[in-house]
Structure 1
């Protein structure tokens, strides 16, 4: 009996700190990016919202380019990482992630992020947060205060650029162009969707190169194009 009790205690101690009961996932939340989280071993795509990709740059139309994807991920992490969450599983996406409406302290995370201008209503799949987006846009909150390409448009442009590069035998998914200015020698990178992206040509013989994400480009000494 003592051995059985010890085994039971060991199993309980090693059990993951989350619970999944039918269509409910609950436990401490780990933030992956602006619209994706994890509870235990379950990745969750937040229902009804779309946030900039981690490597997405924002700006243009007179606004300097900046790493909005990383900023959004950091903001969401600061708000919710490590907090207890309850998520209602609504669907499963094509990547095998649960699509769920998640709450922390009774607050709908999706509604809060859209209302703060940290994410957009993903009206292709749901109209739940359209009113919150209109409110944020009218108040100029978060991303609505700066030049920003929609995350879906960014993903489409990235796929198109990657397809063109892959057709030339380049590395899959590495669509950021690391250009070196012939006049000043400045190292500037362009992401899909920026003004000069399509016209920029990469010459590896001159030291120019392709990058897989913006962080890699910055670490290598390139700066983001301003538009």
Structure 2
């Protein structure tokens, strides 16, 4: 009897581990949703971060991260979804393929040009991205840094956490120097707040804190 129970438990465990998640969608960003309090990262797609900017073909700044989030929210917010868990990422989020009204969310989002196929984690949406690229849909009609590169650059302290405070207060052998957007060393300068370096919202604020402007 004990042996029979053990076999039944082993048979049931895979089903429990891979149980579908069902509920109402709350959109966090273009590749992340909440369903019933569970944070879900959509499998094999990657979208711009909410604070990420792109440029139009004319070179004008474009808040593409906020835009794609708004588009995905309009498509799915408040709708019933079924998600099939695949994995757990390093942030503790459930990685899953999700469907609304029988349609794969990942496929629809990538096909609309609102995210890219994340080929590092699967080729599921490779053709969806290619069709969006050919048609210049969504992000394929603007100049956009890959979300993965953007996250790496931000992690290196090169992208401001607050877009309104973009001045870099760097500490170097030459002293406390601040770099304004457009200056020669702005892009390559990273801010390490653990060393006392800072982001400033204005040149006056930087000067008041004891930083001097970079010469070029």
**Same structural fold, with TM-score higher than 0.5 when normalized by the shorter chain:** yes
CA contact under 8 A between 1:59 and 1:66: conserved in structure 2?
yes
Tell me how far apart the structure 2 counterparts of residues 133 and 22 of structure 1 sit (CA, whole Å).
28
Alignment of 1:161-176 (within 5 A): 161=157, 174=161
* Residue aligning to 2:196: none
Tell me how far apart the structure 2 counterparts of residues 67 and 85 of structure 1 sit (CA, whole Å).
28
Alignment root-mean-square deviation, CA:
3.1
- Are residue 47 (structure 1) and residue 43 (structure 2) matched? yes
Tell me how far apart the structure 1 counterparts of residues 100 and 63 of structure 2 sit (CA, whole Å).
27
- Are residue 197 (structure 1) and residue 197 (structure 2) matched? no
Residue 208 of structure 1 and its aligned partner are, at CA, apart by 5.1
Larger RCO: 1 or 2 (CA < 8 Å, sep 6+): 1
* Residue aligning to 1:178: 166
Residue 204 of structure 1 and its aligned partner are, at CA, apart by 7.4
Q: 1:37 to 1:198 in 2, by over 3 A?
A: same
Q: Which runs of 5+ in 2 are unaligned?
A: 1-15, 168-179, 192-198, 207-216
* Residue aligning to 2:213: none
User: TM-score, normalization: structure 1?
Assistant: 0.66
Q: 1:200 to 1:28 in 2, by over 3 A?
A: closer
* Residue aligning to 1:136: 132
Tell me how far apart the structure 1 counterparts of residues 142 and 149 of structure 2 sit (CA, whole Å).
16
Q: Which runs of 5+ in 1 are unaligned?
A: 1-19, 166-172, 180-188, 210-227
Tell me how far apart the structure 1 counterparts of residues 20 and 74 of structure 2 sit (CA, whole Å).
24
1:159 counterpart (151, 155, 161): 155
Determine helix, strand or coil for the equivalent of 1:74: helix
CA contact under 8 A between 1:178 and 1:208: conserved in structure 2?
no
- Are residue 33 (structure 1) and residue 29 (structure 2) matched? yes
Tell me how far apart the structure 2 counterparts of residues 204 and 94 of structure 1 sit (CA, whole Å).
32
- Larger radius of gyration between Structure 1 and Structure 2: 2
Tell me how far apart the structure 2 counterparts of residues 158 and 90 of structure 1 sit (CA, whole Å).
28
* Residue aligning to 2:117: 121
- Are residue 69 (structure 1) and residue 59 (structure 2) matched? no
Count of aligned pairs between the two proteins:
170
1:207 counterpart (193, 204, 215): 204
CA contact under 8 A between 1:158 and 1:175: conserved in structure 2?
no
